[in-house]
A and B are shown apart, each in its own frame.
Chain A
Amino acid sequence: MATRGIAIFGYYRSAVEVASYLRTGNYDLVIIDDNPKNLEKARSAGYRTAELDFRDDSELEKLGLGETIDTIFCLFPDDAENVFLTISARSLAPTIKVFSIAHGRGAVHNLRAAGADNVIETQEISGLRIWDIINRPIVTGILDRTLFGQANLNVAEIPLPKDSPLLGKPVAEIGIEKCYDLILLGVVGQDKSEHFIYSQTAQETITRAGDILVVIGPTDAINALQEHLTEVNC
């Protein structure tokens, strides 16, 4: 698998975190900012950096948006800058994935309208997180420790290849739980609307090539399933 190029715009608090989480993956990471001080910090943290003015389309083009870079993060503290960057990126490279943060409800709508694929409202997300801790500490704690934590338990997405024996089966009868130490949460269909089908109720839905299995399990079990996809038979 070729390394994916990811550009992070604006090296502020959120970017520090995003970069540190992405650093462990197999990505070609570049930090972009127009503030030399921020870039200096990023450099000293060991990231590749580029100083350029995101307001200038020609400079963005030079970066290789849509070609070498397939995902950008707009993490400026100013919503207007994020919106501007999103629109520029979208117009230069229609297929690029744009992830942006917003500060305030209104900005979320603006960013979505500008074409961001995923918008996180920083304040709201903290509030919801606090609510989760208050409302259901047990479930939140378990997920933090397992799926989102360091423990060897992950949620993974596995696309079904064309020649998999799992194709053409009702989702409920895939039955990979029996052979692998996994639980199959559901399947995301790859038709027009990416809809999620819960594994325990999908009697009628037949799997098709390109559907994505959402599984939870230890890394080795996930890897095993991924390797055996074309010959799996349970």
Chain B
Amino acid sequence: MIKKLIVYFCLVLEASPGYSRAKEFIRTLLEDQNSHLKRYFDLTIIILVLISVGLLVYSVDNPVAPWMVWFEYFAVSVFILEYLARVWVVGDIHRELLDHYRQVEFLHLPFRLWPALRGVLRLKWEYVTSPLAIIDLIAILPSYRPMRLLRIFLLFRLFKLFRYARSLHGMTEVLSERRFDFFTLAFFMLFVVLAAASAIYVFEGGIPESPIHNLFDAIYWAMVTLSTVGYGDITPLTEEGRVVALALIVSGIGVLAFTTSIVVAAFQEKLGELREYRVLSELERGKAYTVICGFGEVGQVVAAKLQAAKQRFVVIDHDEGKVALAVKRGYLAVTGDAADNELLETLGIRKRAHTLVSVTNDDVKNVFITVSARRMNDGLRIISRAGSKDVARKLSLAGASHVVSSSEIVGIIGAEYVGRPVAFDAIYKILRGERDIALEAIRVERDSQATHLSVGEIDFPKRKLLLFGVITAREWTLDDLDHLYPLEGEFCFVFKPPQGFRFEPGDILVVFGYELSLNNFRLDMGSYVLNEETV
């Protein structure tokens, strides 16, 4: 009967959209790292913690006002609610129960509660016994029992802050991975302290002049000596006591060295991960960026160019040495396999990145990276490197927006070099920026002076400019213009437009000229430097 009622209740919960929505909301509030709500919630709790600890310190030698008591009640209720909510969102009891119920129904077995609950309850228990949850609990407990000693645990609320600061969280994670080492150390310390404490107690506990009156005094002395703090309020009086002290001092140095080395080693090992943390948080703020997969020669050239143009980018390479090189040059870099979807995702391929450059030395990997990046983001610009023509075809199929193959470029340049070395050299150097002339794209803005002006009226020769052509989206036919070259979409390129050609907003002029005259022209046209990224 009860079982039926429970199952019925679970069914009601499952059917209720409000319940699952509420649970999802709470889950976002408490656990979704990317949610704004969580940030506000965290901030609220941090403020509550700081005020309540502040009040505790204040109340030591100041009268307690009634509002303070009320505030304390309020804070504690928030903490309790938070604690319960956190336990609540771990796993779904009703779903587990129903799953089990349906299985059992299907197999015509008797329905028993316990096996159904075991899994989810274990999950909850694991959460409750995790360090952060224990801290949460301890932060609440002292309010129930006004014991003097327990009041100190109110300070544990400060530890609650760990939960809300990401970097602190990373630190505790690093240290908790060294749990075994710390346990060994603690065990050793416990042994030394107890041995030394009992020894000193045996030797000096009975001497009336000695400040050691009980075992607690002995432990206190042993701990103070072991830690090399040595207050000196308790000192051994007998020969035997001093021998104990000597042994304790030597082991104290050992314990300190051991502790330091554990902590240092833990951080050393996790240095890469901590850096990754920093890189990720740096990427999260600010504008969209480029992701460069592979920091070989090609990646290095691209990175250097991006850096010089002050564009944001992040480098991924699986080779520690290459990442170290990138870091040395001041780039954001992450060690890892770019073929790892998770890594790409954490680097924001889905949202924050605008370009992915896949230039590892491995064609297979480049194809894989291209496929996964395209799957994650349709709008992403993916530039991929191919070792050969076959691979180039595969990369295009995989969704690369541009494929770059060094052998193909060598082929083109080689052929041009044989056919027309001088002309090609001239064009190539202009494009490379090795001449003082540049080829630039300038867009005609809506309110620009160029709108509705004709080629003849702008008088390019006077401006020392050479109009190569115009990219336009208007509908032209070959009857209107002799040299029309179709581009993607509705765009087409008009080579050497006739004198009577009139510019319309949205047209893009492709112009040769000196940097100075190009800038001047751009100003006159009221057009900003065409930010090609936005096109």
Residue in A closest to B410 when the chains form the complex, CB atoms: A14
Contact count band on A: 35 or more
B500 in the interface (beta carbon within 8 A)? no
Report chain A residues within 8 Å CB of B487: 141-142, 145
- Shortest beta-carbon distance from A29 to chain B in Å: 10
**List of A residues within 8 angstroms of B355 by Cβ:** 134
Q: Give the contacting residue for B410; candidates A97, A120, A132, A172; CB below 8 A.
A: A120
Bound CA–CA A212/B402 (angstroms): 34
Residues of A whose CB lies within 8 Å of any CB of B are 4, 6, 13-14, 16-18, 20-22, 25, 27, 71, 73, 75, 97, 99, 101, 104, 118, 120, 122-139, 141-143, 145-148, 151, 153, 155-157, 172, 177, 181-183, 185-186, 188, 194, 196, 198-201, 212, 214-218
- A178's nearest neighbour on chain B, judged by CB, is B499
Kindly state the separation between the CA atoms of A226 and B421 in the bound complex, as whole angstroms: 17
| Residues in B whose Cβ lies below 8 Å from that of A183 | 466-468, 496
Cα(A137)–Cα(B354), bound, Å: 14
CB of B424 closer than 8 Å to a CB of A: yes
B-to-A contact residues, CB < 8 Å: 290, 296-302, 305-306, 309, 311, 355, 357, 359, 381, 383, 385, 387-389, 402, 404-424, 426-427, 429, 431-432, 435, 437, 439-441, 461, 464-469, 471, 482-483, 485, 487, 493, 495-496, 508, 510, 512-514, 530, 532, 535
Closest-CB distance, B95 to chain A (whole angstroms): 48
Q: Which residues of B contact A155 (CB under 8 A)?
A: 420, 423-424, 427
Given contacts A17-B414, A196-B429, 17 further A-B contacts (CB under 8 A): A13-B388, A118-B421, A122-B406, A123-B406, A124-B301, A127-B297, A134-B355, A136-B532, A142-B471, A153-B483, A155-B423, A156-B420, A157-B420, A181-B483, A198-B512, A200-B465, A214-B426
Closest 4 CB pairs between A and B?
A: A127-B301, A17-B411, A123-B297, A21-B415
The residues of A that contact B309 with a CB separation of less than 8 Å are 135
- In the complex, the answer to whether B387 meets A13 with C-beta atoms within 8 Å is yes
Nearest residue (CB) in B for A27 is B418
User: Residues of B contacting A218 with CB < 8 Å?
Assistant: 483, 495
A71 cross-chain contacts in B, Cβ below 8 A? 418
Whether B496 lies near A217 (C-beta < 8 A) is: yes
Q: How far is the CB of A70 from chain B (nearest CB, A)?
A: 9
Residues of the A chain whose Cβ atoms lie less than 8 Å from the Cβ of B415: 18, 21-22, 25
Shortest Cβ distance from residue A137 to the other chain B in the assembled complex, whole angstroms: 5
**Given the known A-B contacts A131-B301, A142-B493, A185-B426, are A6 and B418 also in contact in the complex, defined by CB atoms under 8 Å?**
yes
| Min C-beta distance of B307 to chain A, whole Å | 11
Known contacts A139-B441, A200-B466, A201-B464, A21 near B496 by CB under 8 Å: no
Q: Are B414 and A21 in contact (CB under 8 A)?
A: yes
Task: Say whether B420 contacts A127, CB under 8 Å.
Answer: no
Q: Is the CB of B427 within 8 A of A147?
A: yes
Q: Contact: A200 with B464, CB < 8 Å?
A: yes
**Residue among A101, A104, A138 with the most chain B CB within 10 A?**
A138
List of B residues within 8 angstroms of A16 by Cβ: 388-389, 407, 411
Complex: how many Å from CA A214 to CA B405?
28
Q: Within 8 Å CB of B532, what residues of A?
A: 135-138
CA distance A132 to B467 in the complex (A): 20
Q: Chain A contacts of B435 at CB under 8 A? A: 196, 198
Tell me how far the C-beta of B183 lies from the nearest C-beta in chain A, rounded to whole angstroms: 51
A127 touches B305 (CB 8 A): yes
Contact between chains at A212 and B422 (CB < 8 Å): yes
* A126, B298: Cβ atoms closer than 8 Å: yes
**In the complex, what's the smallest C-beta–C-beta distance from B376 to chain A, in angstroms?**
19
Q: Is the CB of A125 within 8 A of B297?
A: no
Q: Tell me how far the C-beta of A38 lies from the nearest C-beta in chain B, rounded to whole angstroms.
A: 14
CB of B485 within 8 A of CB of A17, answer: no
What would be 20 A-B contacts, judged by CB atoms less than 8 Å apart?
A13-B407, A17-B412, A18-B415, A25-B415, A25-B419, A120-B410, A120-B414, A125-B410, A125-B413, A126-B298, A126-B385, A128-B301, A130-B301, A131-B302, A135-B532, A137-B532, A138-B471, A148-B412, A181-B496, A200-B464
Determine how close the nearest CB of chain A comes to the CB of B426; give it in whole angstroms.
Answer: 5
Nearest B residue (CB) for A18: B414
Partner of A132, one of B406, B413, B431, B493: B431
- Contact between B298 and A123, CB atoms less than 8 A apart: yes
Tell me if B493 and A181 are in contact (CB < 8 A): no
Q: State A97–B425 Cα separation when bound (angstroms).
A: 15
Residues on A with beta carbons closer than 8 Å to the beta carbon of B423: 155-157, 212, 214-215
Distance from A44 Cβ to chain B, minimum over Cβ atoms (Å): 16
Are B420 and A136 in contact, CB atoms less than 8 angstroms apart?
A: no
A148 contacts across to B, CB distance below 8 A: 412, 416
A124 contacts which chain B residues (CB < 8 A)? 297-298, 301
A20: chain B residues at CB < 8 Å are 411
Please give, as numbers and ranges, the residues of chain B lying within 8 Å of A153 by CB-CB distance: 483, 485, 495
* A133 & B383 in contact (Cβ 8 Å cutoff): yes
Q: How far, in whole Å, are A124 and B300 apart by their CA atoms in the complex?
A: 9
**Are A134 and B510 CB-contacts (below 8 A) given A128-B432, A183-B496, A186-B426?**
no
